[in-house]
Structure 1
Amino acid sequence: MVVTTGFFPDDAKFELLGDAMKKSQITYELFSVALLILDKEDRLSIVIKPADAEKRTDATLSISVPDSVPFLTEAEAVSHVLNRHLDKFFDTVEVETEAPKGSFLMVARCKRTGAILGSPTHHSYQKTLRDHHARTCPNAPFDRFKADLEMVREPEAIEAWKKSMSTRTEYAPKDRQEGEPERLESMDAARGFLLAFRREATVISRNQVRFPGRLLAEMPPGPLRDCVRYALDRQRDFPLDTANGIRGRLRKEGFHLYKKGSKGITYACGVRRKCRDPKSSFSDAMQKIFDCLDKTSGIQGKDVTLAVAGETADDAAKARVLADLNFLIGEGYIAKLHDSRLFAQPVLSTQAQAKEEAANEDATEEK
């Protein structure tokens, strides 16, 4: 593992999701809320730290400034900027040069991109390889990239390379300031220019990086992306860390969390739970609803209505039961789950409920 990873809700998406959850008055299992957030990457805010951050206070990650994509190293981030955002910093100029002279038996071709990179016997070969590697696959070890090159002996390919070498791309810095070079003759020179004169607009380093989950799809293949995706898959299988991580955010958004039993499932709802104090009293119609759910917890609202109103009751009688049921749900005496199952909150004194709620404030989910 190259980084430690945490998953949290994206602010804007969670605000919309939270509003919908509150309006529904539905009670959700905390794990279900976590899975709802983890289900879509654009609902996530991802936090990563170097795996050895606790041992090394100077351990950092790098960020491509133009698009906020994170990287393990500064070199990778700069290569990404050159590959994806070159036009933000440079105008490219094609300059005519003298084509290579002599006899060349073969040229190297990149299997990944199909680009002809030149003859191994030409003086520019190593530099061309370095530039191409930096632009197209900076996360791959250079030796592996070089070993994967294909040597092509067809005369047509050799002549095409010679023709391509009759021009050279140079880079003219945009918004050039006094003392800065007018032209840069290579990608390596462009890289050096960015680090010397445009560093703050190119790359920054942080001990911890938070980035939107939507950027996960834009991260180049490599150990960092693999590590984050592995952590995401594990949380989708069992979202313990994410569930604990969103507790504070749910409370901040006005949700109330509680356990059903001291070791039971944790629930979250926009309606504050109310237990039935032994001293409290309800109308006969509402008490019948409680009696029904105390006898058979987890049944649907329609079943409660039929049980309380009776099979032969008219629509008006059923509507009155349903109105009482919705009132008790809205007041927090009855919880309605996402699958429409209902359960009544227990009989508990006000003091005992307050003590239980205080314990829930500091509780976390356990394996």
Structure 2
Amino acid sequence: MSEPSDELAKRLLSAFELGPSWARSDAPAKKSVEFREDAAPRERRDRDDNRGRRDFDRRDGDRRGGGGQRDSRGAGFRDRRGGGGRDFGPRELPQPAEGVRVSLTPAAEAVHLVVREIHHVARVYSLFDVAQILLAGRERYHLNFSLAGNAPSLFLSRKDKSLWITKDEAVAHFWQSDTANEYYESEETETDPPVGNFQVVARCGMSGEWLGPPNFHSYQTTLRRIHRERFSNMPFEVYASRVRTERGEEAVNAWLDTMRKRVRWRAKGADDSAWRFDRSEIERDFATRVFPEVYQEVRTAELSGDIPAKNLSHGLLACVRIAGSHARKHPAILIPAICRLLENEHLSVFKREGKLFTGPARPHPLTTDAVLAERPSAIVTWLEANPGTKLAQLWAGILPEGQTEPGTEWLADLFWLLTQGHVLLFADDSLVLPKRRTPQGSPAAKDTKAPAVKSAKKKKRKKRKRSRKPYLTVQSPAKLIRNICRMSPSRLKQLRGPALLWRRRLEKRGRISSLVEEK
């Protein structure tokens, strides 16, 4: 990091100050409004300035011969209200890359600074506020890129950590970056300018570079090279439509002056015979020999959040903007990652009133019979009698008369209570004393112990499967009579229905053998 860690930690934690900016101590003073004599006719002056600017644009367009309407995509000047004003229509934003997922994770260095500050001031901070602070600076989080499905691999630079979707984008970035100077060198040499009768010379409408006459043999090569090196983010047709032509001896001589010096390239460390005036040969050498050394194909990548926009493909940059906007609207998605980093830093995380907090220690209530020193006991007693108080009110209530600022001994005792979790000091200077508990095993704890309450939910009884009774066939009368005659007295008593009637008949006739034997 460029700045000292202490200053970075102070700047990082300064956002924890709650309340509006005008109420803070470091808020700048409001500037007084000065009355200007020419402030009243400001609308009239702006109207006159705009009229004069339109007149100047009209004269300038007539002088260059461009007074009419040109390409509707904003490639030139448009005739509006009789003048040639520049078309500043809405630009099309790049579409996010397909199959690319981007997520934000807090940087371990930023979380370490938060942990160090928490240990230093012994305060309790909400994890939601910590997430908002980490999202406030791009250097405080990392960007995680991952591919879904069968999406093609990305190209990650080993030199500057740039990331690209296609190989062409990676090659174009290489020639525009300082990495190209590590592998290739170039120099200008004096040459004779081309000879011929040139009347019209083309010029790039965006960079102002001379392209040469449209009928010159290297015109198309130069046009496509400048588009590839400097304006590859726009379609070639749009770029070509912005090329303008100029006539006259001055324009031709200006282009000839640029042709007096030619640039040649060679690989670094090669001999003099390796110089090439054709840039395409050097680019072919890079694609076949140097490209695998500079770039690697990856499916996942983790980059710093403050990576320059020029080091990302336009599709990836659109994905980053969407992910950043979503994270700032929902900072809670960073809380699980923050909890893991805080756990690695051995900082406690606890829940209070349904919200997650982090502080120097978890809440550790004091017992009712705890014996403390004089000053800690005074602090605990005052907080127990005055719940929901502020730090300034605490010092005003317990300090001796005539003393406005607490001494070192008072601060040390309060710091001990905070680091032990007996007292909680939040970011807004509010003090909370956890409810004191009775010691275990004491008679008071046994008396106040609530009886066990049976669960209101009744256990569900398992339904017994009723077995089906076997199918009973109706016996014939002859068989039924035969069985009744052979039954014992106990079985005879269990007969019901028609069998009981047959029993009585057979009993009168003396046909039941068991009853006859008894008689």
TM bin (shorter chain): 0.7 to 0.9
For the residue of structure 2 that corresponds to 1:106, the secondary structure is strand
Aligned to 1:304: 394
For the residue of structure 2 that corresponds to 1:198, the secondary structure is helix
Q: Structure 1 counterpart of 2:426, which letter? A: L
Moved more, 327-336 or 220-229: 220-229
Change beyond 3 A, Cα 1:349–1:245: farther
Structure 1 position 79 matched with structure 2 position 176: no
Structure 1 position 106 matched with structure 2 position 201: yes
Q: In structure 1, list runs of 5 or more residues that go unmatched.
A: 352-367
Larger RCO (CA within 8 A; separation ≥ 6): 1
Aligned to 1:44: 141
For the residue of structure 2 that corresponds to 1:139, the secondary structure is coil
Question: In structure 1, how many angstroms separate the alpha carbons of the residues matched to 2:172 and 2:344?
Answer: 40
Aligned to 2:156: 63
Match of residue 209, structure 1, among 301, 309, 319: 301
Match of residue 417, structure 2, among 328, 332, 342: 328
Q: Deviations over 1:116-173 (max 9, x none)?
A: 2233322222221221122212232323322333333354233322332344322110
CA contact (8 A) 1:92 1:172 kept: yes
Change beyond 3 A, Cα 1:322–1:173: closer
Change beyond 3 A, Cα 1:236–1:162: same
Question: In structure 2, how many angstroms separate the alpha carbons of the residues matched to 1:218 and 1:13?
Answer: 24
CA drift at 1:174 = 0.7
What RMSD over aligned residues (CA atoms) do the two structures have, in Å?
3.3
Aligned to 1:360: none
CA drift at 1:290 = 4.2
Match of residue 287, structure 2, among 195, 213, 238: 195
Aligned to 1:22: 119
Question: In structure 1, how many angstroms separate the alpha carbons of the residues matched to 2:315 and 2:437?
Answer: 52
Question: In structure 1, how many angstroms separate the alpha carbons of the residues matched to 2:104 and 2:274?
Answer: 45
Moved more, 128-137 or 90-99: 90-99
For the residue of structure 2 that corresponds to 1:31, the secondary structure is helix
Aligned to 2:350: 258
Aligned to 1:161: 255
CA contact (8 A) 2:104 2:323 kept: no
Q: In structure 2, list runs of 5 or more residues that go unmatched.
A: 1-95, 441-519
For the residue of structure 1 that corresponds to 2:308, the secondary structure is helix
CA drift at 1:286 = 4.8
Question: In structure 1, how many angstroms separate the alpha carbons of the residues matched to 2:188 and 2:120?
Answer: 61
For the residue of structure 2 that corresponds to 1:215, the secondary structure is coil
Q: Deviations over 1:288-344 (max 9, x none)?
A: 244146x32xx321212334x27x746499657655433221112222222322223
Question: In structure 2, how many angstroms separate the alpha carbons of the residues matched to 1:336 and 1:69?
Answer: 44
CA contact (8 A) 2:128 2:331 kept: yes
CA contact (8 A) 1:64 1:81 kept: no
Change beyond 3 A, Cα 1:186–1:204: farther
Q: Structure 2 counterpart of 1:73, which letter? A: T
Q: Structure 2 counterpart of 1:331, which letter? A: Q
Aligned pairs for 1:176-195 within 5 A? 176=270, 182-195=274-287
CA drift at 1:229 = 3.3
Aligned to 1:219: 311
Bigger radius of gyration: 2
CA contact (8 A) 2:347 2:361 kept: yes
For the residue of structure 1 that corresponds to 2:118, the secondary structure is helix
Moved more, 158-167 or 31-40: 158-167
Q: Structure 1 counterpart of 2:358, which letter? A: A
CA contact (8 A) 1:5 1:46 kept: yes
TM-score, length-normalised on structure 1?
0.78
TM-score, length-normalised on structure 2?
0.57
Structure 1 position 337 matched with structure 2 position 426: yes
For the residue of structure 2 that corresponds to 1:78, the secondary structure is helix
Question: In structure 1, how many angstroms separate the alpha carbons of the residues matched to 2:116 and 2:282?
Answer: 48
Change beyond 3 A, Cα 1:230–1:289: farther
CA contact (8 A) 2:102 2:320 kept: yes
Q: Deviations over 1:256-294 (max 9, x none)?
A: 212213xx221122x12133276773545354244146x
CA contact (8 A) 1:107 1:151 kept: yes
Percent identity reads 20
Q: Deviations over 1:89-134 (max 9, x none)?
A: 21113342551533342303141x2222233322222221221122
For the residue of structure 1 that corresponds to 2:123, the secondary structure is coil
Moved more, 66-75 or 315-324: 315-324
Question: In structure 2, how many angstroms separate the alpha carbons of the residues matched to 1:252 and 1:148?
Answer: 56
Question: In structure 2, how many angstroms separate the alpha carbons of the residues matched to 1:349 and 1:106?
Answer: 95
Aligned to 1:358: none
